[in-house]
Amino acid sequence: MKLIRFHSTDGRPRPGVQRADGTRLDVSAFGGDYDESFFGSDGPGRLGRWLVDHAGECPVVPANARLLPPCARPSKIVCVGMNYAAHAAETGAKPPSEPVIFMKATTAITGPNDPIVLPRDSTKTDWEVELAVVIGKRASYVTKAEALDHVAGYLLHNDVSERAFQIERGGQWVKGKSADTFAPLGPWIATPDEITDPHNLRLWLKLNGETMQDSTTADFIFDIPTCISYISRFMTLLPGDVISTGTPSGVGLGMKPNRYLQAGDVVELGIDGLGVSRQQVKAYQPQG
């Protein structure tokens, strides 16, 4: 099942599903949003069973409806850094001996086709296509063997990063990762039955039509069970939390000379089975 959220004509976010033929159904009548409560109570399974009897009663989502992030704001986004050997090499880093983890503010989350807004004083905003995982049940000190049982689904993430803030301003990476609009998610969450092997998915990113990143998750340094198990040693993962599993080579930081996003650029990215997203880059505009 593919879970979507969309902006309704009354201005409220609504949950939906995308069917195999591409049509989208409004499943508001099922009750609730795609949040911690939903994922923590086998929401995808309950929704699937409900649809067997009620799909015919669900309104079709208008084709021009704005897609929202497919999960309501989670308690946290945990990212895994330098999880592809080629990406570590292009940034001048040695492959890590254990997962490098950092946080990304949930206020950075936007829909899959919403603009990326360059933050004030930004000079080095970069792109990163990533496979993200949505946690389906509380995870604390889980083993690698148990880890995939805690996955509710998979989704596409652009881990937008301001490299000057991240690297040159001291402290932790989080401030280079957390500007508003720096976490486009979606278009949908694919439940595990939709993804045959999350460790063999092609992921790619284009900038203004030019391919920047093109790799597969087979090149992970640390696989998904390892990442979930490792992170759960240091914090409790709650239903709905997002883990982003790292980006392959081809980021602007790794180019010689470096190349970064400019206002007017268009970023397109995708992962097998998880759809495609598109973001136009815009300059920061002071509010008021």
- If one counts every other C-beta atom within 10 angstroms of the C-beta of residue 27, the result is 24
Polymer length in residues for the chain: 288
pLDDT at position 11 is: 83
In the chain, where the domains are located = 2-68, 77-282
Q: Give this prediction's pTM.
A: 0.96
Pairwise CA distance, residues 71 & 240, whole Å: 7
User: Residue 48, exposed/middle/buried by CB under 10 A (0-12, 13-18, 19+)?
Assistant: middle
* Interatomic CA distance for residues 62 and 97, integer angstroms: 48
Q: What is the pLDDT of residues 189-226, one digit of tens each?
A: 999 999 999 999 999 999 999 999 999 999 999 999 99
Say yes or no to pLDDT of 286 above 90: no
CATH superfamily of 77-282: Fumarylacetoacetase-like, C-terminal domain (3.90.850.10)
pLDDT in tens, 158-178: 999 999 999 999 989 999 999
Which is nearest to 261 in space by CA: 203, 208, 204, 187?
208
